[in-house]
Protein backbone atom coordinates (compact mmCIF):
# COMPACT_ATOMS: atom_id res chain seq x y z
CA UNK A 1 0.00 0.00 0.00
CA UNK A 2 1.35 3.38 -1.00
CA UNK A 3 2.19 5.28 -4.11
CA UNK A 4 2.87 2.05 -5.97
CA UNK A 5 -0.72 0.91 -5.36
CA UNK A 6 -2.32 0.41 -8.75
CA UNK A 7 -5.68 -0.16 -10.35
CA UNK A 8 -6.03 -2.49 -13.33
CA UNK A 9 -7.54 -0.88 -16.40
CA UNK A 10 -9.87 -2.72 -18.80
CA UNK A 11 -6.95 -3.69 -21.04
CA UNK A 12 -4.88 -5.10 -18.18
CA UNK A 13 -2.57 -2.09 -17.78
CA UNK A 14 -1.86 -1.02 -14.20
CA UNK A 15 -2.18 2.64 -13.24
CA UNK A 16 -0.94 4.02 -9.90
CA UNK A 17 -4.08 5.23 -8.09
CA UNK A 18 -2.48 8.53 -7.07
CA UNK A 19 -0.61 10.69 -9.54
CA UNK A 20 0.73 14.22 -9.63
CA UNK A 21 -1.29 16.72 -11.68
CA UNK A 22 0.64 19.58 -13.24
CA UNK A 23 -2.00 21.91 -14.68
CA UNK A 24 -0.92 25.57 -14.40
CA UNK A 25 2.57 24.56 -13.32
CA UNK A 26 4.97 26.62 -15.38
CA UNK A 27 7.33 24.82 -17.72
CA UNK A 28 11.04 24.95 -16.95
CA UNK A 29 12.34 24.93 -13.40
CA UNK A 30 8.92 25.04 -11.68
CA UNK A 31 7.50 21.92 -13.27
CA UNK A 32 10.90 20.23 -13.28
CA UNK A 33 11.32 20.71 -9.53
CA UNK A 34 7.72 19.66 -8.79
CA UNK A 35 8.06 16.43 -10.75
CA UNK A 36 11.52 15.62 -9.39
CA UNK A 37 10.21 16.18 -5.86
CA UNK A 38 7.16 13.97 -6.43
CA UNK A 39 9.27 11.19 -7.93
CA UNK A 40 11.64 11.36 -4.96
CA UNK A 41 8.65 11.00 -2.66
CA UNK A 42 7.60 7.87 -4.52
CA UNK A 43 5.02 9.18 -7.00
CA UNK A 44 5.05 7.05 -10.16
CA UNK A 45 2.28 8.73 -12.13
CA UNK A 46 2.33 12.18 -13.73
CA UNK A 47 -0.63 13.83 -15.48
CA UNK A 48 0.17 16.49 -18.08
CA UNK A 49 -1.41 17.69 -21.35
CA UNK A 50 -0.28 19.53 -24.45
CA UNK A 51 -2.50 22.40 -23.23
CA UNK A 52 -0.45 22.74 -20.04
CA UNK A 53 2.64 23.66 -22.09
CA UNK A 54 4.93 21.88 -19.67
CA UNK A 55 5.50 18.49 -21.31
CA UNK A 56 9.16 19.37 -21.90
CA UNK A 57 9.87 19.99 -18.24
CA UNK A 58 7.93 16.88 -17.24
CA UNK A 59 9.93 14.74 -19.66
CA UNK A 60 13.24 16.19 -18.55
CA UNK A 61 12.45 15.64 -14.86
CA UNK A 62 11.51 12.02 -15.55
CA UNK A 63 14.66 11.43 -17.61
CA UNK A 64 16.91 13.03 -14.98
CA UNK A 65 15.28 11.12 -12.11
CA UNK A 66 17.17 7.97 -13.03
CA UNK A 67 14.00 5.95 -12.49
CA UNK A 68 13.44 3.51 -15.36
CA UNK A 69 10.88 4.88 -17.80
CA UNK A 70 8.71 1.78 -17.47
CA UNK A 71 8.26 2.41 -13.75
CA UNK A 72 6.56 5.77 -14.32
CA UNK A 73 3.04 6.17 -15.67
CA UNK A 74 2.80 9.21 -17.93
CA UNK A 75 -0.48 10.68 -19.18
CA UNK A 76 -0.88 13.40 -21.76
CA UNK A 77 -3.87 14.67 -23.73
CA UNK A 78 -4.84 16.00 -27.14
CA UNK A 79 -6.12 19.58 -26.87
CA UNK A 80 -9.31 20.87 -28.46
CA UNK A 81 -7.75 22.69 -31.41
CA UNK A 82 -5.65 19.61 -32.24
CA UNK A 83 -8.63 17.28 -32.72
CA UNK A 84 -9.48 15.37 -35.92
CA UNK A 85 -7.77 12.24 -37.30
CA UNK A 86 -4.62 13.58 -38.99
CA UNK A 87 -4.41 16.51 -36.60
CA UNK A 88 -4.40 14.21 -33.57
CA UNK A 89 -1.73 11.93 -35.03
CA UNK A 90 0.43 15.01 -35.56
CA UNK A 91 -0.37 16.42 -32.10
CA UNK A 92 0.59 13.12 -30.52
CA UNK A 93 3.98 13.14 -32.24
CA UNK A 94 4.56 16.71 -31.02
CA UNK A 95 3.76 15.61 -27.46
CA UNK A 96 6.17 12.69 -27.72
CA UNK A 97 8.88 15.00 -29.01
CA UNK A 98 8.35 17.47 -26.17
CA UNK A 99 8.27 14.69 -23.59
CA UNK A 100 11.32 13.16 -25.30
CA UNK A 101 9.68 9.72 -25.05
CA UNK A 102 8.81 7.04 -27.56
CA UNK A 103 5.50 6.13 -25.92
CA UNK A 104 3.09 7.36 -23.27
CA UNK A 105 1.16 5.25 -20.81
CA UNK A 106 -2.16 6.99 -21.33
CA UNK A 107 -3.33 9.32 -24.07
CA UNK A 108 -6.64 11.13 -23.53
CA UNK A 109 -9.09 13.11 -25.64
CA UNK A 110 -9.11 16.23 -23.46
CA UNK A 111 -12.72 17.34 -24.20
CA UNK A 112 -15.61 15.94 -26.25
CA UNK A 113 -15.48 18.49 -29.07
CA UNK A 114 -18.73 18.08 -31.01
CA UNK A 115 -18.23 16.76 -34.52
CA UNK A 116 -14.58 15.99 -33.83
CA UNK A 117 -14.16 13.50 -31.02
CA UNK A 118 -14.98 10.37 -33.04
CA UNK A 119 -12.27 11.11 -35.62
CA UNK A 120 -9.92 11.95 -32.76
CA UNK A 121 -10.74 8.61 -31.17
CA UNK A 122 -9.93 6.80 -34.44
CA UNK A 123 -6.48 8.37 -34.25
CA UNK A 124 -6.08 7.22 -30.64
CA UNK A 125 -6.99 3.69 -31.72
CA UNK A 126 -4.23 3.81 -34.32
CA UNK A 127 -1.75 5.14 -31.74
CA UNK A 128 -2.75 2.28 -29.43
CA UNK A 129 -2.39 -0.33 -32.18
CA UNK A 130 1.02 1.15 -33.01
CA UNK A 131 1.94 0.58 -29.35
CA UNK A 132 2.75 4.23 -28.76
CA UNK A 133 0.19 4.53 -25.96
CA UNK A 134 -0.31 1.66 -23.51
CA UNK A 135 -3.87 2.79 -22.86
CA UNK A 136 -6.24 5.33 -24.40
CA UNK A 137 -9.13 7.16 -22.85
CA UNK A 138 -11.22 10.28 -22.68
CA UNK A 139 -11.72 13.24 -20.41
CA UNK A 140 -14.80 15.29 -19.59
CA UNK A 141 -17.15 12.86 -21.32
CA UNK A 142 -20.74 12.66 -20.12
CA UNK A 143 -22.48 9.27 -20.51
CA UNK A 144 -24.14 10.46 -23.73
CA UNK A 145 -20.72 11.27 -25.23
CA UNK A 146 -19.43 7.84 -24.23
CA UNK A 147 -22.52 6.17 -25.64
CA UNK A 148 -22.05 7.99 -28.95
CA UNK A 149 -18.31 7.30 -29.07
CA UNK A 150 -18.73 3.60 -28.43
CA UNK A 151 -21.19 3.19 -31.34
CA UNK A 152 -18.24 3.37 -33.74
CA UNK A 153 -15.25 2.63 -31.52
CA UNK A 154 -13.32 -0.61 -31.84
CA UNK A 155 -11.53 0.01 -28.53
CA UNK A 156 -13.39 1.02 -25.41
CA UNK A 157 -11.88 3.94 -23.45
CA UNK A 158 -9.86 2.68 -20.49
CA UNK A 159 -10.46 5.85 -18.48
CA UNK A 160 -12.76 8.85 -18.23
CA UNK A 161 -10.97 11.70 -16.43
CA UNK A 162 -13.56 14.11 -15.05
CA UNK A 163 -13.94 16.92 -12.57
CA UNK A 164 -14.81 15.07 -9.37
CA UNK A 165 -14.67 16.09 -5.72
CA UNK A 166 -17.12 15.87 -2.82
CA UNK A 167 -19.19 18.85 -3.97
CA UNK A 168 -19.35 17.44 -7.53
CA UNK A 169 -19.61 13.72 -6.89
CA UNK A 170 -20.58 12.79 -10.47
CA UNK A 171 -22.81 9.94 -9.36
CA UNK A 172 -24.29 9.26 -12.82
CA UNK A 173 -21.00 9.30 -14.69
CA UNK A 174 -19.46 7.00 -12.09
CA UNK A 175 -22.37 4.59 -12.36
CA UNK A 176 -22.20 4.58 -16.17
CA UNK A 177 -18.44 3.99 -16.13
CA UNK A 178 -18.73 1.22 -13.55
CA UNK A 179 -21.30 -0.55 -15.72
CA UNK A 180 -19.04 -0.28 -18.77
CA UNK A 181 -15.76 -1.13 -17.08
CA UNK A 182 -14.26 2.32 -17.68
CA UNK A 183 -12.09 3.58 -14.82
CA UNK A 184 -12.89 7.00 -13.38
CA UNK A 185 -10.12 9.46 -12.70
CA UNK A 186 -10.78 12.65 -10.72
CA UNK A 187 -9.43 16.02 -11.80
CA UNK A 188 -9.45 18.86 -9.29
CA UNK A 189 -9.85 16.06 -6.73
CA UNK A 190 -9.48 18.39 -3.76
CA UNK A 191 -11.72 21.00 -5.38
CA UNK A 192 -8.73 23.26 -6.11
CA UNK A 193 -8.48 23.68 -2.32
CA UNK A 194 -11.49 26.04 -2.39
CA UNK A 195 -13.53 24.41 0.39
CA UNK A 196 -11.08 22.46 2.53
CA UNK A 197 -12.42 24.53 5.44
CA UNK A 198 -15.88 22.92 5.09
CA UNK A 199 -17.06 21.95 8.61
CA UNK A 200 -17.70 18.30 7.70
CA UNK A 201 -14.22 17.93 6.19
CA UNK A 202 -12.70 19.71 9.20
CA UNK A 203 -14.58 17.45 11.59
CA UNK A 204 -13.52 14.27 9.78
CA UNK A 205 -9.94 15.54 9.56
CA UNK A 206 -9.89 15.98 13.34
CA UNK A 207 -11.52 12.59 13.91
CA UNK A 208 -9.01 10.66 11.77
CA UNK A 209 -6.05 12.95 12.58
CA UNK A 210 -5.61 13.68 8.90
CA UNK A 211 -5.97 16.81 6.77
CA UNK A 212 -9.15 17.65 4.82
CA UNK A 213 -7.26 16.95 1.57
CA UNK A 214 -6.30 13.50 2.85
CA UNK A 215 -9.91 12.80 3.84
CA UNK A 216 -11.01 13.56 0.28
CA UNK A 217 -8.25 11.59 -1.42
CA UNK A 218 -8.99 8.62 0.84
CA UNK A 219 -12.70 8.91 -0.03
CA UNK A 220 -11.73 8.64 -3.70
CA UNK A 221 -9.48 5.69 -3.03
CA UNK A 222 -12.19 3.80 -1.17
CA UNK A 223 -14.53 4.52 -4.09
CA UNK A 224 -12.04 3.06 -6.58
CA UNK A 225 -11.40 6.47 -8.15
CA UNK A 226 -7.93 7.40 -9.43
CA UNK A 227 -6.77 10.87 -8.30
CA UNK A 228 -4.18 13.35 -9.55
CA UNK A 229 -3.93 16.12 -6.93
CA UNK A 230 -1.70 18.97 -8.04
CA UNK A 231 0.90 20.45 -5.75
CA UNK A 232 4.20 22.18 -6.35
CA UNK A 233 4.87 22.06 -2.62
CA UNK A 234 6.85 19.08 -1.38
CA UNK A 235 5.15 18.79 2.00
CA UNK A 236 1.69 18.93 0.39
CA UNK A 237 2.77 16.36 -2.21
CA UNK A 238 3.78 14.12 0.68
CA UNK A 239 0.54 14.81 2.53
CA UNK A 240 -1.60 13.99 -0.53
CA UNK A 241 0.06 10.61 -0.85
CA UNK A 242 -0.18 9.70 2.81
CA UNK A 243 -3.67 8.20 2.78
CA UNK A 244 -2.98 4.50 3.07
CA UNK A 245 -2.83 4.14 6.85
CA UNK A 246 -6.45 4.82 7.78
CA UNK A 247 -9.94 3.87 6.66
CA UNK A 248 -13.09 5.96 6.53
CA UNK A 249 -16.13 4.24 8.01
CA UNK A 250 -19.15 3.60 5.77
CA UNK A 251 -21.02 6.24 7.70
CA UNK A 252 -18.30 8.84 7.09
CA UNK A 253 -18.12 7.89 3.39
CA UNK A 254 -21.85 8.66 3.24
CA UNK A 255 -21.34 11.98 5.02
CA UNK A 256 -18.81 13.00 2.38
CA UNK A 257 -21.12 11.83 -0.41
CA UNK A 258 -23.80 14.10 1.12
CA UNK A 259 -21.65 17.18 0.39
CA UNK A 260 -22.52 16.76 -3.29
CA UNK A 261 -24.22 19.95 -4.45
CA UNK A 262 -23.24 20.25 -8.10
CA UNK A 263 -20.45 22.77 -7.41
CA UNK A 264 -18.71 22.64 -10.78
CA UNK A 265 -15.43 24.56 -10.73
CA UNK A 266 -14.62 24.05 -14.41
CA UNK A 267 -16.56 24.08 -17.67
CA UNK A 268 -19.56 21.80 -18.18
CA UNK A 269 -18.64 19.53 -21.09
CA UNK A 270 -22.06 20.22 -22.64
CA UNK A 271 -21.32 23.91 -22.77
CA UNK A 272 -18.25 23.91 -24.95
P1 LIG B 1 -6.58 20.20 -7.26
O2 LIG B 1 -7.93 19.84 -6.74
O3 LIG B 1 -5.56 19.14 -7.39
O4 LIG B 1 -6.05 21.38 -6.33
C5 LIG B 1 -4.80 21.98 -6.53
C6 LIG B 1 -4.69 23.18 -5.60
O7 LIG B 1 -4.71 22.75 -4.25
C8 LIG B 1 -3.40 23.94 -5.77
O9 LIG B 1 -3.68 25.31 -5.54
C10 LIG B 1 -2.50 23.39 -4.67
O11 LIG B 1 -1.56 24.37 -4.28
C12 LIG B 1 -3.50 23.12 -3.57
N13 LIG B 1 -3.16 21.96 -2.72
C14 LIG B 1 -2.63 20.78 -3.12
N15 LIG B 1 -2.55 19.92 -2.09
C16 LIG B 1 -3.02 20.58 -1.00
C17 LIG B 1 -3.20 20.22 0.36
N18 LIG B 1 -2.84 19.02 0.79
N19 LIG B 1 -3.71 21.15 1.20
C20 LIG B 1 -4.07 22.37 0.76
N21 LIG B 1 -3.95 22.77 -0.53
C22 LIG B 1 -3.42 21.88 -1.40
O23 LIG B 1 -6.81 20.98 -8.66
P24 LIG B 1 -6.28 20.90 -10.16
O25 LIG B 1 -7.26 21.70 -10.94
O26 LIG B 1 -4.86 21.23 -10.30
O27 LIG B 1 -6.51 19.36 -10.58
C28 LIG B 1 -5.52 18.38 -10.44
C29 LIG B 1 -5.01 17.92 -11.80
O30 LIG B 1 -6.07 17.43 -12.62
C31 LIG B 1 -4.41 19.04 -12.66
O32 LIG B 1 -3.16 19.48 -12.20
C33 LIG B 1 -4.40 18.36 -14.00
O34 LIG B 1 -3.33 17.45 -14.10
C35 LIG B 1 -5.76 17.65 -13.99
N36 LIG B 1 -6.83 18.45 -14.62
C37 LIG B 1 -7.44 17.93 -15.74
C38 LIG B 1 -8.44 18.63 -16.38
C39 LIG B 1 -9.08 18.04 -17.56
O40 LIG B 1 -9.86 18.73 -18.23
N41 LIG B 1 -8.81 16.79 -17.91
C42 LIG B 1 -8.88 19.96 -15.91
C43 LIG B 1 -8.22 20.40 -14.71
C44 LIG B 1 -7.24 19.65 -14.09
P45 LIG B 1 0.03 24.05 -4.18
O46 LIG B 1 0.49 23.62 -5.53
O47 LIG B 1 0.62 25.35 -3.75
O48 LIG B 1 0.17 22.98 -3.13
Exposed (0-12), middle (13-18) or buried (19+): which is 6, by Cβ within 10 Å? middle
What's the gap in Å between 88 CA and the centre of ligand 1?
26
Res 58: pLDDT? 98
How far is the C-alpha of 160 from the C-alpha of 265, rounded, in Å? 18
**pLDDT per residue as tens, the chain (272 positions):** 899 999 999 999 999 999 999 999 999 999 999 999 999 999 999 999 999 999 999 999 999 999 999 999 999 999 999 999 999 999 999 999 999 999 999 999 999 999 999 999 999 999 999 999 999 999 999 999 999 999 999 999 999 999 999 999 999 999 999 999 999 999 999 999 999 999 999 999 999 999 999 999 999 999 999 999 999 999 999 999 999 999 999 999 999 999 999 999 999 999 97
Res 272: pLDDT? 78
Full DSSP string of 35-96: HHHHHHHT--EEE--GGGT-HHHHHHHHHHH---GGGSEEEEEE-GGG-SHHHHHHHHHHHH
Give this prediction's pTM: 0.98
221 part of the active site: no
Element (H, E) at 184: strand 183-187
What's the gap in Å between 247 CA and the centre of ligand 1?
23
* Cβ proximity of 107 and 93 under 8 Å: no
CA distances from 86 to 67, 119, 120, 148, 259 (A): 33, 9, 8, 21, 43
For ligand 1, what atom is nearest to the CA of residue 23? Answer: 32
Res 263: pLDDT? 98
Ligand 1, atom 4: closest residue by C-alpha? 192
Helix, strand, coil percentages for the chain (3-state, nearest 5): 45, 15, 40
What's the gap in Å between 189 CA and the centre of ligand 1?
7
Res 1: pLDDT? 83
* Cβ proximity of 63 and 99 under 8 Å: no
Res 196: pLDDT? 98
How far is the C-alpha of 47 from the C-alpha of 230, rounded, in Å? 9
* Cβ proximity of 68 and 43 under 8 Å: no
Q: Report residues whose beta carbon is within 6 angstroms of any ligand 1 atom.
A: 21-23, 47, 110, 139-140, 161, 187-193, 196, 211, 213, 228-233, 236, 239-240, 266
Amino acid sequence: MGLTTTKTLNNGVEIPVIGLGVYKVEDGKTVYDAVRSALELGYRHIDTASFYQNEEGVGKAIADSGIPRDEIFVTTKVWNDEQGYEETLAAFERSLTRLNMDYVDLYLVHWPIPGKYKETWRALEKIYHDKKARAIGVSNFHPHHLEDLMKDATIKPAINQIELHPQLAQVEVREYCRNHNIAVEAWSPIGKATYLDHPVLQELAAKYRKSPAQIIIRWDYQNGIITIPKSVNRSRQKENADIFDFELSNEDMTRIEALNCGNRLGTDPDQL
